[in-house]
Amino acid sequence: MIRKNILTIVNKKRLFFQMLIIVFLMLPSSNYFSLAQVDVREAIVKVYTVSNYPDYYNPWSMEGPRASSGSGCIIEKNLILTNAHVVSNQTFLQVRKYGDTQRYRAKVVAVSHLTDLALLTVEDFGFFDGITALDFGQLPETQQEVLVYGFPVGGDMLSITKGVISRIEHQPYVHSSSVFLAGQIDAAINPGNSGGPVLVDDKIVGVVMQGIPTAQNIGYMVPTPVISHFFADLTDGILNGYPSLGIGLQDMENDDLRRYYRMEEGMNGVLINQIVPGGPADGNLKINDVLLLIEDFPIGNDGTVEFRPNERTQLNYVIQQKQIGEDLKVTILREGEKKEIKVNLSRSLTKDRLVPMEQYETLPTYYIYGGLVFCPLTKDLLNIWGPQWYQSAPRELACYLLNNFPEREDQLVVVLLKTLAADVNQGYQNISNWVVELVNGEKVWNMHDLVEKIENCEEPFIILEDQYHKKIIIDKDKAENSHQEILEIYRVPSDRSEDLK
């Protein structure tokens, strides 16, 4: 009797498990896999980069190769998401999966240096076999707990640190010297963490990009709205970047300032005090217009908008939701009268600047005449004075960034960088970092203009002049006769960069 009862129980259990297996096999494949435990660590990769940066003080040369490493994560379509600064100016690129010993050759698919994001892939698609790609989550809330995955210094294995989102607001991105939405995290991050994912519930909410070495546990991530804009921009296969409205603004927190511009009680906004020539605002908005709303976002007197309840950030947040070519609705106060204007965001943010910010995968522009080395003023040039360039670089160069707006669309600051000593430039050999304002009495607008004015000059002398009317005078015949000799002595392969040929 006992044996019969035992057999009955065993048969019932066998039938139960058979039915469970049948039900399990009948589940849709997505549910089938959701029952398995997914280890997000398998989607984390270490990125090995060999890069070669231009030498901006000797713009015909390179600094030489150097090795570095960063982190990344596998997302859909056999892609790896990382930072642009991890792979910038790369000459050789490899990746290694978590728990693996083999490095695989990788290549860059797309890169946004403005927002410090890059997409990589591996030529051997077997690299992605068996890996569950990470999905993306929403913009996290402040005080929400996050996990940071990556391969920082201090070891070779995967590191996982825990923290919270401290705040979300616009911050300068070091890689591009541009300001975008960023998430501040207090999880420990170190060199090598760059490009690693920040996860909430195993979903990507950001990509680690930078920290503040002098502060305690202050790091920043590129948040999902910025990542989403990057992906949306790439849908047509071309990365256009971020649009700009092309205006300079002044806060209006002072009561008398608001009254002067006829703002009513309770009305908030910011004053337009500059318009970039050729930009979207040129011809649509005017200096002394008061910007009240951008799309449907009221603008505070401090130039911020509320992007979530009780959370504010720069009004550029609204512009940066748009793609180049889209329309932007703005409401202004002009001479006491409200107007609604639609502006087409037809131009990239990078074209608004007199002094271009950091550039990558691009060789420096230069021109040599009579042993004088000319180049445009760029942020890359200022960086030759080191991380504290704003203190150590010549003030006459650094001051151009205080009001970084051109007078016309193609304007650049032309600098006499240094002199390659020769008889033709005797007496000028200690001149360096000298801004060229005029050539033979005519304004110089950019490097192409400089070359044209020098080489088309029919006078016997080339007269260079700075803003203080100091002059450098070069005999044209002497310069041309010594030209090749100077290049050979200093082993310069060409008197100009490729973009000037």
Phi, psi (5° rounding) for residue 54?
-65, 150
Surface-to-core class of residue 257, CB atoms within 10 Å of its CB (0-12 exposed, 13-18 middle, 19+ buried): middle
CB crowding 64-86: b at 16 or more within 10 Å, else e: eeeebbbbbbbbeeebbbbbbbb
The verdict on whether 116 is a catalytic residue reads yes
The verdict on whether 85 is a catalytic residue reads yes
Phi, psi (5° rounding) for residue 188?
-65, 125
Euclidean distance between CA atoms 408 and 277, whole angstroms: 5
Euclidean distance between CA atoms 317 and 415, whole angstroms: 35
Catalytic residue among 69, 194, 244, 482: 194
CA angle 421, 417, 398 (to 5 degrees): 150
Catalytic residue among 88, 112, 116, 352: 116
Task: Name which of 248, 258, 272 is nearest 336 in CA terms.
Answer: 258
79 alpha carbon, distance to own chain's centre: 20
3-state secondary structure 51-82: EEEECCCCCCCEEEEEEEEEEEEEECCCEEEE
Task: Name which of 280, 384, 347 is nearest 57 in CA terms.
Answer: 384
Catalytic residue among 85, 170, 175, 229: 85
CA distances from residue 51 to 108, 112, 169, 476 in whole angstroms, order as listed: 13, 17, 32, 40
Instruction: Report the SS3 class of residue 14.
Output: helix
Phi, psi (5° rounding) for residue 291?
-85, 115
| 408, 279 contact by CB (below 8 A) | no
Instruction: Report the SS3 class of residue 319.
Output: helix
Q: Point out the residues that are catalytic.
A: 85, 116, 194
